[in-house]
Amino acid sequence: MAKKITTYLPLMLLAIVAIASLSFAEVERATLRCTDVVVSIEKNAAHSDFVTEDDVYEMIGSNRNMLIGREITDFDIAEIESLIEDNPITLDCETYFTIKGELNIKVRQRTPVIRVVAQNSEFYIDENGVEMPLSERASARVLVASGEIADDYQPNFNILSDDGSKLLQDIFTLTNKIRNDEMFLPIVEQIYVTKNQEFILGSKVGPARIEFGTIDGCDEKLKHLKAFFNAEKVRENWQQYKSLSLKFKNQIVCTKK
């Protein structure tokens, strides 16, 4: 029996030390105070600074001076993150204390991909399909959708959900096709929605008006459009074309000035 106790004695001592260390850490944490607050805001892919450090403090209803000196046990980290993530301009937030009592708040901003100009409102849709408000501080250089678009703005609403607008979903789909293509991204600057819920693309190069039609056959239409822009004879005579249409299957109809 004594031999068994001797064998397990080192493990027992180690367990006692571990428990004592944890208890000491808890006591130390209970008396630790916030020594500093570091707010870091990650730039979004659109390079638009929608959120500032002051905005973050406003979201949590406090300021740096009010936080420094408080016992860290008084902080509800989950609530801080929730308050920041509830803002429709922020994507997510990570908040934690360092062993020195430094409160770190890391915020990621949403990345808008299209600006929607509806009948009575304007808003962005981000890369995840979530609606977000415009900012008084900055604007994103993104595609603009306008025309016959009914007001459907709901902050933090994901248009890709079952309750989302079919028109906004189609605009989002077309936007991503354009922005993910090295040729179309610098050329196409606007998506206009007609009364028939068809799309007209505004182009910076060549024909200013591209009648795209509906989202049906989107990939095939863009394939034909790319072939048109890549044609040498077409590029030599950009100024001759007023508009072109992709509405007819497997063909491009051009209108000269």
* pLDDT at position 25: 43
Question: Quick check: helix, strand or coil at residue 229?
Answer: helix
Separation CA 103–CA 10 (nearest Å): 38
Sequence spans of domains, the chain:
36-109, 112-256
Instruction: End-to-end CA distance of the chain: give it in Å, rounded.
Output: 104
| Single pTM value for the model | 0.82
Q: Which residues of the chain have pLDDT under 50?
A: 2-4, 15, 17-29
- pLDDT of amino acid 22: 41
Q: Give the amino acid at 159.
A: I
Write out pLDDT tens, residues 217-227.
999 999 988 88
Query: In this predicted structure, what is the pLDDT of residue 30?
Result: 53
**CB under 8 Å to 148, separation ≥6 — which residues?**
119, 193, 194, 195, 197
- Name the fold adopted by 112-256: Rossmann fold (3.40.50)
pLDDT recorded at residue 204: 87
The reported pLDDT for the residue numbered 7 is: 56
Pick the CATH number of 36-109 from 3.10.20.310, 1.10.3720.10, 3.60.21.10, 3.40.50.720: 3.10.20.310
